[in-house]
Chains A and B, each alone.
Chain A
């Protein structure tokens, strides 16, 4: 059952092969039995899930089925869920129970999906290893001594361990794609503005996007159909019709032009990873695509620019956490300043504090021009690189992350080493482009991901490109050794 894809489950439910209650119980059972090893869930909503599953079975029986009626998924604990704790991986929100749903959550609810629970994540989405969560690190199902990637480590691990067929996640600098790569699953970050940010706790407002994680491109397409919409509550939501992302999956890739940026195959790229990616590219040639070497000359500036812009926006977005209206509050504050200093000093973890301070620095008087303004200028140059490239090619491909999953603590006290994990993914967020990762190999029995970057709103093409690869290869079907 747990090896069924989302698509399989939908067919099975429609055919009456099993009930929603059975499916839901199955996954809840697995979570109970196995998540102790991975720590991928922060909250499991067992009772609500079973109740909704029963209701879904009724709806289906009475002929009132909806598109994801009775299908279980999980939500990254960054999406506000009405009446259910939404922690964002932080002590600051450990007691936060929102009285409203994120638009993404509402979309799935109306589509009839069952929510198994909220998945673990790096605190406030800041991290590439899921080691910064207040709720403890998430373990990679492929090797529990290794990180699953981050910040959506919980969603990635849960899908990889088949604890849920699919999960929602968010990506600000690679937080969907990199954990998807490290956990051997498929993940997609849509074009900026495609998925509503209402109720999605903000890290860096101009970079954050919600997207799906599942084992196949087809499942991601099904998820994206429900996640994407124009939301008037989000000023940055783009008013553009949502196509059926499953409609183009079968298209042939004959004549597809794939851009391969030379900057993405530089030093620092693990040789095993490079080989797996090159093999995948060769596979694409067999499918009729043409590889074109391209250059994205400002690539080396992406990480520096990101580590100005993201912390700057985050420093303002996280200022609201002050112990006054919700969330953590320090005990017995002696005056106003004490309330702020200790609530925030005690409520935030080290990485979050570090980024807030870096952000405040980059925006402060005397440094704004040299840092923030400069970074936003570089951002435009990075975007222009892609705009120019997409005049020549249809999609761009390369490795998702420089190496497979690393051991816990391997990046030690070196934040910059951690930041370089996102070296290939960050530029897409800066430009607002859509990006995906699909499994394309194994190195030392640890997954490698192939990154696919598309032009604005080309998610359907990207999913088609990914799907065809998944028809010709079976990397996406591999399971972690010894997985129950």
Chain B
């Protein structure tokens, strides 16, 4: 039996506004518990919400970036349920008239194929607080700093057909929102959370199977793994004669296991109704157009520009332009040489950031520093081998490329006189090897250069400019033929 996977995504983005969606409390990350929860956020009696204009501007920007309809009139509803991290015991959200309507996002897969994923809608809502379960003598502790942070919830149609598509879609969204600057995209801090709705059906069927929801995935890797796990579970279940029940599941990235959270049957009756404390929000064409005029560069346009302006390959441009933070970093680092910058970013920098679970914004090596090092690489001051050492030293905080090169004496020897002298030396000191070279088959000669190069590198403590050594060596040896 051939199975088809059907996936829909719900994405929660924390907007990077300074203040909350309905109050003037700060949204800064990392504050002491409940120091950024004002009377409104604490749902004190008599308090009232007033919406943050920037949250709407951010939502409209997003809508324009995905080619969606922007609602000229939208409104807020109350979604009622009890949970200690929800102070009013209702979440103010949008249901009937969300700010952003139908749109679409283009994704590109590894094999180069493209697909358009439909967005059902995107709406604004407020985030809840946090529960901490470390024991307070059998109690949980509630921190409401996060309560009231503006969120955009993006709901896709179930157009995704594989984990790869889902991750590509998630990455594309990440790219769009970081490019727009509406979300910092820091997934480990919870700035972007994904809920995945998964169902399976026999290939060729046009009815949907029962779906489950896996909530709060905050990494692309977890998403990929969680999807694979759930698809397998569902297929096994059905093939064993069982039925998939509609439920919410939680995936644990450390244990790589998932469990059922609660049956969606016992789901709350949320009793949505229009929030009477908030009036309809109206935007005219001029307002929306003015936002359109000031939209920053979007990922696809940036990718094309990188290919054109910096000569990057389609593949490289895709990677570099994908994350807005990486793209920004790249454009500064590319000052000396774009291709080298791209290689270093995709290679060494990426590896180090991943190993230490860091975002590029937190990189100890700044874009300027990387540009500085690449400049020295390009002008021949250091060799590639030296560059690695310089990079490591910068990562460890030893300073800029120039100061490290100076301090460690890493300047490569490129002086032609010195190189000539070294080559002459080694030729003089290795008569047997020179003789072997002279008498060898032409085809075998290139391999024999290695010995001489090795000797020169040893003598120069690795600082001789390898290209020049090769050039001069070849010239002088060939003179002896």
A contact residues vs B (CB 8 Å cutoff): 79-80, 86, 88, 93, 96, 98-100, 102, 197-202, 204-206, 232-236, 312-313, 315-316, 319-320, 322, 324-326, 336, 340, 360, 363-365, 368, 372
Contacts and interface: CB of A to CB of B under 8 A. Distances in A.
A202 B88 contact: no
Contact of A93 (B45, B47, B84, B279): B45
A320 B43 contact: yes
A372 B89 contact: no
Interface of B: 39, 42-51, 78, 80, 82, 84, 87-90, 142, 269, 271-273, 276-279
Nearest to A313: B276
Given A205-B276, A316-B89, A326-B42, 7 more contacts: A88-B45, A197-B46, A202-B46, A320-B88, A320-B89, A322-B82, A368-B271
A322 B82 CA distance: 9
B277 A205 contact: yes
A319 B89 contact: yes
Contact of A234 (B39, B48, B87, B271): B48
Contact of A320 (B87, B142, B278): B87
Contact of B43 (A93, A206, A232, A325): A325
A134 to B, nearest CB: 15
A313 B84 CA distance: 21
Contacts of B51: 235
A102 B276 contact: no
A208 to B, nearest CB: 9
Nearest to B83: A336
Nearest to B39: A100
Contacts of B273: 312, 316, 363, 368, 372
A476 B277 CA distance: 36
B34 to A, nearest CB: 9
Contact of A206 (B42, B82, B276): B276
B387 to A, nearest CB: 57
A236 B43 contact: no
Contacts of B276: 204-206, 236, 313
Contacts, number: 96
B84 A336 contact: yes
Contact of A198 (B42, B47, B84, B89): B47
A201 B48 CA distance: 10
A325 B279 contact: no
A353 to B, nearest CB: 16
20 contacts: A96-B45, A100-B44, A198-B47, A198-B48, A202-B46, A202-B277, A204-B276, A206-B276, A233-B50, A235-B48, A235-B50, A236-B48, A316-B78, A319-B90, A320-B87, A324-B87, A325-B44, A364-B269, A365-B269, A368-B273
Contacts of A86: 45
Q: Is the interface of A mostly helix, strand, loop or mixed?
A: loop
B50 A232 contact: yes
A322 B83 CA distance: 10
A484 to B, nearest CB: 35
Contact of A201 (B39, B45, B80, B278): B45
B24 to A, nearest CB: 10
A88 B45 CA distance: 10
Contacts of A319: 80, 82, 88-90
Contacts of A324: 84, 87, 142
A322 B231 CA distance: 40
B84 A80 contact: no
Given A205-B276, A205-B277, A325-B42, A233 B48 contact: yes
A100 B23 CA distance: 15
Chain A to chain B: the 8 pairs with minimum beta-carbon distance, closest first? A319-B89, A205-B276, A363-B271, A206-B276, A199-B46, A320-B43, A201-B45, A201-B46
A234 B49 CA distance: 7
Contact of A325 (B80, B82, B87): B87
A135 to B, nearest CB: 17
Contact of A322 (B44, B47, B89): B89
Given A198-B46, A235-B50, A360 B277 contact: no
Contacts of A365: 269, 271
B477 to A, nearest CB: 84
A21 B48 CA distance: 36
A309 B260 CA distance: 38
Contacts of B43: 320, 325
B25 to A, nearest CB: 13
Nearest to B50: A235
Contacts of B90: 316, 319
Nearest to B140: A336
Given A205-B277, A206-B276, A322-B89, A80 B45 contact: yes
A197 B46 CA distance: 7
